[in-house]
Each structure stands twice: as C-alpha cells, then as structure tokens.
C-alpha cells in the first residue's frame, strides 16, 4: 500500500504541500496514521506538477525513501504550482523496486497515482506495452490513462473483475482532479485557496472530510463533487 496527495488551487510550494504539514506526505512515509495495509512507505516516492512553461507536467521520482532524498528539502521550497500530485510507495511483494514503478505515472497532460493492489491478470493485455513498469500500479495506470474521463467506470470494472483489489486512484490534468475511494481511506480538504485530496489528512484541521468507500471525487475550480461508484 502507499499514500498520495493532490492539490488544485492557488499555487503552493512543494514544501508547503509535502514537507511542512505536521502529518504531511513526508511524515506519512514513515508513520502513516490511517494505512491499513503496510506500515512504512520507504520504497520510493514521486511528485508531478504543472507550470505555464509547457502543457506536460514535470515529474521527479526516486526509488529512495522520501526522508533520504536530501535535495528535496532544498528544491521543494522553490517550486510552486497550482496543481500537484505526489505519492510515497510501499511496494507490493514481488514487484520491481526501481523508480519507474513509483507514481505518479504520466501520459500527455495526465498524472496518475494508485494506492492499493490489483491482480494484473484482470487488466487488458494491450495496457502492458504502454505501462512504465510491470508493477501492478503501472499496468493499472496504463489502462486507466487510455480513457481518463472514464476513470470511475474503469475502476469499477476492474473492481468487479478482482473483488480483492484496492483501487484508490488520483488523476490530475492541470485543471481538475479525479479520485476514487475503493478499499482504503481518502479525505478531502476544501481550503479558501483550493482543494486537497489525500489518502489521509496532513493535519488535524476539522475541515477535512472523509470520502465514502466506492466513490468518485471530481475537483474543479468550481468545487467538489462526489459520485457513488457501483459494480457494473
């Protein structure tokens, strides 16, 4: 299992989103509070963000634990964006350990992260050649990125094919966020300057709200929408 977070709103620094909060993603890499599967997310990390410089997002990924990446504390305060997606990884046993297996995965303008596990045999064969890694999350990402607008329907279909799958997914395109809660925790914070979606709150602010299981979350500049997901 892993932890992830996304932000859409006024530009915030990577440090402000990932490192500075008392229970931010950095802290969750060694001490998550709501992670039911696994205890330490030390098998890599990644962050993607958008800038006016080009339509495709920038990515920084590493197979090292986030706390061991010394350069992150130097660079993160200097990088700000209005749309950010980041994750820390607790690798599924038997899956690759290199940085290509670390979220966020990317295609065009889209970034995607997966918290959970899925039986790769239920995923379409055509997804494998487009996957960045052979790990389950990367193959799932390749499948979901074939049709990002249908994220909810595709997650529900995969869940039907693999009833034991945990399919918490975050998707960003620079202008909106989509997320699914399917088998693990997900929370939303509607702040005055934007919206955060995360595996678990980065602080104890009572404004955080928990997302019901099997729900699609849509975040746009106009607000947050929750849609129940059902097995097809």
Domain total for the chain? Answer: 1
H or E, element range at 156: helix 151-161
Cα angle 54, 59, 65; round to 5:
165
The whole domain housing 18 covers 3-228
- Report d(CA 4, CA 118) in Å as an integer: 17
Question: CATH code at 178?
Answer: 3.60.20.10
pTM as predicted: 0.96
2 is catalytic: yes
Structure tokens belonging to residue 159 = 């869940």
| Tens-digit pLDDT string for the chain (232 aa) | 699 999 999 999 999 999 999 999 999 999 999 998 888 988 899 999 999 989 999 999 999 999 999 999 999 999 999 999 999 998 876 677 689 999 999 999 999 999 999 999 999 999 999 999 999 999 999 999 999 999 999 999 999 999 999 999 999 999 999 999 999 999 999 999 999 999 999 999 999 999 999 999 999 999 999 999 998 8
Question: Which residue among 2, 83, 102, 135 is the active-site one?
Answer: 2
């Amino acid at each position: 299992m892993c932890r992830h977070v996304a932000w859409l709103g006024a530009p915030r620094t990577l440090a402000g989103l990932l490192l500075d909060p008392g229970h931010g993603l950095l802290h969750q890499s060694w001490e998550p509070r709501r992670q039911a599967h696994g205890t330490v997310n030390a098998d890599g990390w990644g962050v993607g963000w958008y800038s006016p410089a080009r339509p495709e997002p920038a990515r920084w990924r590493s197979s090292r634990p986030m706390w061991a990446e010394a350069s992150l504390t130097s660079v993160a305060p200097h990088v700000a964006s209005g749309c950010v997606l980041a994750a820390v990884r607790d690798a599924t046993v038997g899956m690759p350990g290199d940085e290509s297996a670390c979220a966020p995965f990317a295609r065009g303008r889209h970034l995607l992260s997966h918290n959970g596990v899925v039986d790769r045999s239920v995923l379409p064969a055509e997804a494998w050649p487009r996957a960045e890694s052979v790990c389950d999350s990367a193959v799932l990402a390749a499948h979901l990125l074939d049709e990002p607008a249908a994220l909810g329907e595709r997650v529900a279909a995969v869940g039907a094919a693999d009833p034991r799958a945990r399919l918490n997914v975050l998707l960003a395109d620079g202008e909106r966020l989509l997320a699914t809660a399917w088998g693990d925790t997900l929370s939303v914070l509607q702040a005055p300057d934007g919206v955060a979606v995360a595996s678990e709150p980065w602080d104890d602010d009572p404004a955080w709200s928990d997302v019901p299981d099997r729900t699609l979350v849509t975040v746009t500049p106009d607000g947050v929408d929750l849609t129940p997901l059902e097995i097809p």
